[in-house]
Amino acid sequence: MAKPQRMWETKVLSDLHDHCVWQKRAGVLIADDGSEVLLVPLRGEGSEQVLAGFHTIMAAGDVLGGCLASGRLPLVFDLDETLLVAKSQSQLQRELAELRDVRRPALTQQPSSNDRALGLAALRREEELLAADLSLLQQFAEHDAVEWGGARLAATLEPAAGPALQPLHRPVVRLRRDGASVVLTRIDPALPATSMIFHVRPGWEAARPALAAAASHDVYVCTAARQDYALEAWRVLDPGEHLMSLQQRAARITCVQRKNLAKVVVKYKGAGGSVHSVMPLTVIVDDRLDVWDVANRGQVVQIEPFRPYEERAAAELGLPDRPTLQTLDAQMQWLQGEIARLHAAIFSHIDDVARPAAERLMSGARRLKVDALARDYADAMPTPTWTEDCVQKAPRLLGLAPDPRSASGTALVPQDPRRAARQGAEGAASGSTDEMGLFKVRLVVNQGEFVAEATSDVTEKLAKQLAALQPPKLAPCPCCPALLVVVRKACMITEEGDGTASFGG
């Protein structure tokens, strides 16, 4: 008996298209690398059916759908040298030894000058500040009390939570220095050796209630530190749970060495394939770019590192061109405005431009030209304004060294200059790209079967999976039409002729 022809592929896609239109749903193809292809029904000229495929992670789609529904953006903070500085006894002792044995001798060997004299004076003041903190920490560890301003201050037991969010009480002494908080606490209440002194960044305590009152962001933390430390550090920063409740902390505080938004906001543990930034609407606040995955660096609002000993010494001695506690406070005020500006710019474009365009495509009011599908889709669906399109480099309030890749952005649509460098680096690492930095795959329907032609190793496996589409792999999934505006890696597939799949960028 002759082997039956595989003709069901075309019919199942047609049925899927009709089913998704009727139920306002999308189909999902799960790829081998754990990522997914979201198949969304659109309309072509005449009676042509078009499926738009978005290479994404469905968990990211759920998170982003929630962002669009609530009008809130994910806001990710780094901890150390961004919002606070924490030192243990051993860390303070090492820094004192480095100052005396390395930094001071190196400066002493320089030719005599006014700059050298000021530098040596600054080192002496730093040494005094480090020694004073070490004395406070030793008192706290030994006696649960410190001498401060001529008085003895005893620690109070404050309710806290351990790594598994189990309730516990920590001894805590809270002080004020130069208008900012200094907190002595103990990571493990039973081990005095885990005592630490925290310096909170100037301006944070004013910014925190403003961020909470705006109710425009969901706050996350990403740090390379241990979880028990990170939980206590955030409790120091947000003692009233105004930005993140105790119940949310286990899910929203992420401790990883290499920072990636997929691990922070979505908690995606797979390799991700070519899905680079699964959260393009996220805003990151960090003092460093290099610790983030290259795909996320355009979303970082970079601020000056917080180094309280150096900055206090610089302020007291009036050192020129040095960040001080006052300039750090000014930058935190700028950061508040920048976060609000990013939220307004992103949602203004979504509500006024991208969402109406997506709804016209979904409803069939805008029908695509099948013979020029990719180009017509690009014309019909403007590129959304992602966070990296809106992020502007921090003004040099604090002598922040300019990024060597930076260039001026446009006046109407601020562009992060790091984006071009990132796209170039990805293209060099991942294979051939077109002039827009997008990877290409052609999918042709020929007598009921897909034929895939990949021009990049990155997408070859996924192209073959699309080509071998099987009915059991297609599962309806609830999908808000607005999801179209928040997924950046799209492929266009038609049932007749040929189409183009684009990944990357």
Q: Which domains does the chain have, with CATH numbers?
A: 8-70+343-444+471-480+491-504 (no CATH), 75-341 (3.40.50)
Question: Widest CA span of the chain, in angstroms?
Answer: 100
User: Taking Cα atoms as reference points, which of 182, 168, 93, 123 lies closest to residue 313?
Assistant: 123
- What is the pLDDT, as a whole number, of residue 398? 33
- What is the pLDDT, as a whole number, of residue 29? 67
DSSP for 280-320, please give it: TT-EEEES-STTB-GGGGGGEEE-----HHHHHHHHHHT-T
- Return the number of other C-beta atoms located less than 10 Å from residue 410's C-beta: 7
User: Taking Cα atoms as reference points, which of 397, 283, 284, 296 lies closest to residue 343?
Assistant: 283
Distance of alpha carbon 114 from alpha carbon 195, whole angstroms: 39
For 164-226, give the secondary structure using H, E and C: CCCEEEEEEEEEEECCEEEEEEECCCCCHHHEEEEEECCCHHHHHHHHHHHCCEEEEEEECCC
- Per residue of the chain (505 residues), give pLDDT as tens: 333 333 334 556 677 777 777 777 777 766 555 566 677 788 878 777 777 776 666 677 677 778 888 889 999 999 999 999 999 999 999 999 999 999 999 999 999 888 889 999 999 999 999 999 999 999 999 999 999 989 999 999 999 888 787 889 999 999 998 888 999 999 999 999 999 999 999 999 999 999 998 889 999 999 999 999 999 999 999 999 999 998 899 889 999 988 988 888 876 655 443 344 557 789 999 999 999 988 888 889 999 999 999 999 988 888 877 888 888 888 899 899 889 988 988 888 888 888 888 888 888 888 877 777 767 777 887 776 778 777 754 333 333 333 322 222 222 222 333 333 333 333 333 322 222 222 233 333 333 333 333 334 434 555 555 555 433 333 333 322 222 222 222 333 333 222 222 222 2
Whole-model pTM?
0.75
Q: Give 182's strand partners.
A: 175, 199
Residue carrying the six token digits 């680096």: 425
Distance of CA 38 to the CA centre of its chain: 23
Distance of alpha carbon 415 from alpha carbon 400, whole angstroms: 19
What token pair was written down for 63?
A: 């998170």
- Return the number of other C-beta atoms located less than 10 Å from residue 249's C-beta: 19
What is the per-residue pLDDT across 274-332, written as a single tens digit (0 to 9) for each? 344 557 789 999 999 999 988 888 889 999 999 999 999 988 888 877 888 888 888 89
Q: Give 299's strand partners.
A: none
User: Taking Cα atoms as reference points, which of 205, 490, 427 lies closest to residue 333?
Assistant: 205
User: Taking Cα atoms as reference points, which of 308, 382, 367 lies closest to residue 129?
Assistant: 308
Query: Alpha-carbon dihedral of residues 417, 377, 71, 341, nearest 10 degrees?
Result: 30
- What is the pLDDT, as a whole number, of residue 79? 97
CB contact at 8 A, 249 and 165 = yes
Distance of alpha carbon 471 from alpha carbon 100, whole angstroms: 71
User: Taking Cα atoms as reference points, which of 456, 429, 430, 428 lies closest to residue 441?
Assistant: 456
Q: Which amino acid is at 121?
A: A
Q: Which amino acid is at 276?
A: H
